[in-house]
Structure formats: C-alpha cells, structure tokens
Structure 1
Amino acid sequence: MKLISWNVNGLRAVVKKDFQGIVDNLDADIISVQETKLHQDQIDLELPGYHQYFYDAQKKGYSGTAVFTKEEPIKVSHGLGVEELDTEGRTLTLEFPKFYLIDSYTPNSQQKLKRLDFRMEYDDALRDYMKRLSENKPVILCGDLNVAHEEIDIKNDKTNHKNPGFSDEERNKFSELLNSGFIDTFRYLHPDEVKYSWWSYRFNARANNAGWRIDYFVISDNGKDLIDSADILNDVYGSDHCPIELNINL
C-alpha cells in the first residue's frame, strides 16, 4: 500500500498547478494533505476513485487537513479531543482494519517562538493520543510536523538553532515521541541520507537545496514490520513542500 503526505500550502492553489495530474502520477492508495487553507464547501475537487475527508479550521483560509483514500475507512475522527487544540483543523484520523492513519499539521511556533507553548501542548496531546491508539493496532502519523529533528535534517543548522522548527524544545518533543514507542520511517531506512522536504520561497532555496526535512511518516513500534520503503519526492513541485512517501506491507 502506497501512502503519500504533502503540505500543499493552499489546496486551491495547487489544484491550479495540476494537482489532478500529480495525483494520477503518484497513484497512491492514500493521500494526506496539510495546510488546505479552505473550507470544504469552497472547492469542488474531483478525484475519481478516492473518498474525500476534510477537517477545516474555524478560521477561513487557514490551516486545515484532508485525506483522500481509495479504501473507505472504518471510522473518521476530527481533532485530539482537546477543545483549545481543535479549532484549527490540524488532526484528522482515519481508522482502517489494520492501522490508524493520523494526518497532522503541527502548529508553527512562529517568530521569536511566540506560539511555542501552544505548540508544546499540541505535541504532548498528539503523543498521548497516538500512544492510546497504538494499544489497539499500529498507528501511522504523517504530515508537516514543523520540526527538523537532527542536524542532518536541515541545511543551515548553526544559523537556525533556536529558530522556530529547530528549537531545542521542539526537537526534544520529537525525540520524546520516538522514545515513547515510535519510528521515524525515513531516518530508520536511510540513517545517513540528506534529503529535505521544505524550502523557503526566498533566496532560491529550492534551487540551492537549502532546505529542511519537516515532513514525516512516523509509525508505532508494533507496526515496524509493515515498513517497506520510504522516500521524499523532491521532483514533485506545486508547493514550498514536496510530497513524502511510505510504502507498507499489509
């Protein structure tokens, strides 16, 4: 089964850049997207063969997640069950017979880390939620998690230390998640490979490959045997992020 995750930085924008053609070429079983920046009634998206599930932020034009899946899920859940964390459409869960899929658009801590406390609360709640679900069956978390975990995951680690997405606090929370029984699938399979999933629109960052790896597929330890392959699809354009891929054996 092929799974794709992609921060599209505006679903309406990427639809104008041949999203349909990209979806056809990827031919994935499940496509999870983040930062849709819309309410579902603002788009008429035709994706033949896919069931569509959206989780919109209360605020229009902001945040939001969606999952497009060929297989109809058993259940779809919105949010983490924490009222103050569930107004921005950030966490969408689909239950399938053999695993849970969580599509997350983790909050950005913003300049001077002014939203770090909210971000820390989200990380804790998401980790606890994943641990609870993993008691039943494997959990796969995907999405823009807004953190480059290690120095290998960012081009300019020295100049970005303590910046949003590479602060000690955010990196430590990701370590805490992995240490609580989860696997960063790309790094697990490619321990030394340098590959990024996001580039600033400034300074020709993508052309110079001055990027960050902030998009992930994370799987619970009890799903380790499901992992087949993982990749970062640098050749797919349309957003400031590129899609990432996980193939699993069911």
Structure 2
Amino acid sequence: MKKYCILLFILSFGIPEACFSQEDISIPTTVIDSLYKEDQFYFGLTYNILVKLPSGVQQTGFSLGLQGGFIKDMPLNKRRNIAIGIGLGYSYNSYNQNIGIIKDSNNEANYFVLDDTYEFDYSRNNFYQHAIELPIEFRWRTSTASSYRFWRVYTGFKVGYVFSHISNFKGEVGSLRYNDIEGFNDLQYGLTLSAGYNTWNFYVYYALNPMFNDDVKTALKGESIDMSAIKLGLIFYIL
C-alpha cells in the first residue's frame, strides 16, 4: 500500500513540475537566405520603331509590343549581385506601316508601297507577330539577401522564333487578312538592355537581323525590304 501511495505522489506533483518548469520556447526569427537568387517573372510593354525603311515606306500609327515570361537567375560571385539569367517567354508585336501585302493565285505574297500611286484610301494596314523567345542576360544589381528594392542593369541577347505572321488591310477596295506569310524571317534576334529601380525598369531591344528574307522586294521600287525594329518601353520584374 505504501508503494502505491509513493507512486500516486510522484504522478500528482512530479510530472506537472517537470512539464511546467521548462523554459519558454521563443518564436524563431526569419532566416535570411545567403544563397538567394533573383528568379523572376517579367512583363514588358514597348513602342516598336521601324528602321532601315525602303523608299516611300513609313510608319502610320502606334506600333505596340507585349512580352512576358520567366528568367532563371544564376549568381556568379559570393555577394550574388552579378549573375547570368536565362529565360523563356512569349511576345506579341504589331507594326503599322504602308507596305501592302497581296497574295496571288499561286498563294505567293507580293509586297508594294501604299503611296500616291494608288488612288484609294485605307484605314488599316499592319502586320503583327507572335513569338517564343529565349532571353539571355548578364545581370548586375545592388541587391542583398534581405532587400527586395535595388538598382539593376541587365544587358543581354534575345532570340525569338516567330510562329505566326498575320497581315491586315482594310480600305476602299475591301478587307484582306493573311496568315503565315512567306517572306518573313521566322528567326529574330537582337540586343537587350533593361535598367531601373525595384519593379520599374526602362527597356530597349535592338534587332540585329531584318524582318524579311533577302529575296523580298517591294513591287514598285524594286528594293529589298531590310527594315528591322527598335523597341522602347518598360519592363517589370516580379519575384
């Protein structure tokens, strides 16, 4: 009977004392990741400027560009403020200009300049493109492991595969729309630069190759269409 009394005493007073005599456990503070990366989603809006225009060719309105995708960040130094970024994205680009495109009975595209030679008015003449893009960037920034607001300068190279070319014309003679037109260069590439602070950054793209193949010439002028694009705008990076 004595043993049972001792056991009851231990259970009544010993265990609660052991449980409640422990020190309070504090909530851990946020752990700073010293191996952080700037893996980012990006979204951009640009104004597309056509350069190297043939005689009589000009832009006729606002030409819009949109882009978006994801970039994988690979730091190169211990501070992790210098890195290489490789990504995958999509872009849409429209170009309003006065190069008319008409397909003949053999489904071949003919290019001509809409100038004073034609005695009709038109309200729309443009072409636009959809592309899959691979951006490659050399990245410098003032970021730290605990700061999400910093200055950046990212410069690099972008390759795009244009998987859809569409031409639109609307005027007195009717409406014409063509898809997947031969004559465009499916592979587009150029230099890029983005610079700014935090989310807001200026963006520049300078094309290194023309939009059209070497064989494409304007029907009236007989000149090769060597025009390419410069894109100016804003790009936003989001973690």
Query: Same fold per TM (> 0.5)?
Result: no
TM-score by length of 1: 0.24
Q: Larger Rg: 1 or 2?
A: 2
Bigger share in helix: 1
TM-score by length of 2: 0.25
